[in-house]
C-alpha cells in the first residue's frame, strides 16, 4: 500500500506543482462580469496589487463662507460638525454653484459619512459654526 501511495505521489506531484505555478494571483474591484462572477484582475507589472493610501485629507472651515476644497475629481468621505447648528452645502464644482452633492443641517455635534465621488471639484458653502471636511 505504501508503495502505491509513493508511486501516485511521484506521478502527481509534478502536475500539482505545475498547476500551482501557472496560477496568476488576482484581486477584485467588487465589479461583476456579465456572467455574474466577481471580476478578477491579474497581478503583474502593468496591474500591481493596490495598496492602502492612508487616511483622508481634511479641511477645517470655521466661518460662514464659500470654500473651494479641491479643484479636481475625488471623493467626499464625510464631515464632522464641530459646532452645533452648522449648515453646509457641498457642490461638485470648483465654485459653490451648480450640481449639489448634498445639503446638511445639524442641530448637534456629529460626524456624517458620505463617500460620494465628485468629478469636477469640491466646494462647500457653510452657514454657522465650525466643520471639518474629509476628502480624497
* Phi, psi of 132, deg, nearest 5: -120, 120
Number of C-alpha atoms within 13 angstroms, CB side, residue 71? 0
Q: Give the global pTM.
A: 0.63
Residue 15's pLDDT is: 56
Residue 19's pLDDT is: 47
Write the pLDDT tens digit of every residue in 70-108: 999 999 999 999 999 999 999 999 999 999 999 999 889
Write the pLDDT tens digit of every residue in 105-118: 988 999 999 999 99
Amino acid at each position: 500500500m505504501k508503495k502505491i501511495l509513493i508511486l501516485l505521489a511521484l506521478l502527481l506531484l509534478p502536475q500539482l506543482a505545475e498547476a500551482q505555478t501557472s496560477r496568476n494571483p488576482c484581486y477584485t474591484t467588487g465589479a461583476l462580469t456579465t456572467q455574474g462572477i466577481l471580476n478578477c484582475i491579474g497581478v503583474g507589472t502593468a496591474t500591481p496589487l493596490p495598496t492602502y493610501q492612508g487616511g483622508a485629507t481634511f479641511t477645517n472651515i470655521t466661518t460662514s463662507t464659500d470654500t473651494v476644497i479641491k479643484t479636481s475629481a475625488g471623493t467626499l468621505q464625510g464631515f464632522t460638525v464641530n459646532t452645533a447648528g452648522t449648515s453646509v452645502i457641498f457642490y461638485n464644482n470648483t465654485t459653490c454653484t451648480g450640481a449639489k452633492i448634498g445639503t446638511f443641517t445639524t442641530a448637534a455635534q456629529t460626524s456624517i459619512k458620505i463617500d460620494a465621488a465628485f468629478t469636477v471639484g469640491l466646494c462647500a458653502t457653510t452657514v454657522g459654526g465650525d466643520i471639518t471636511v474629509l476628502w480624497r
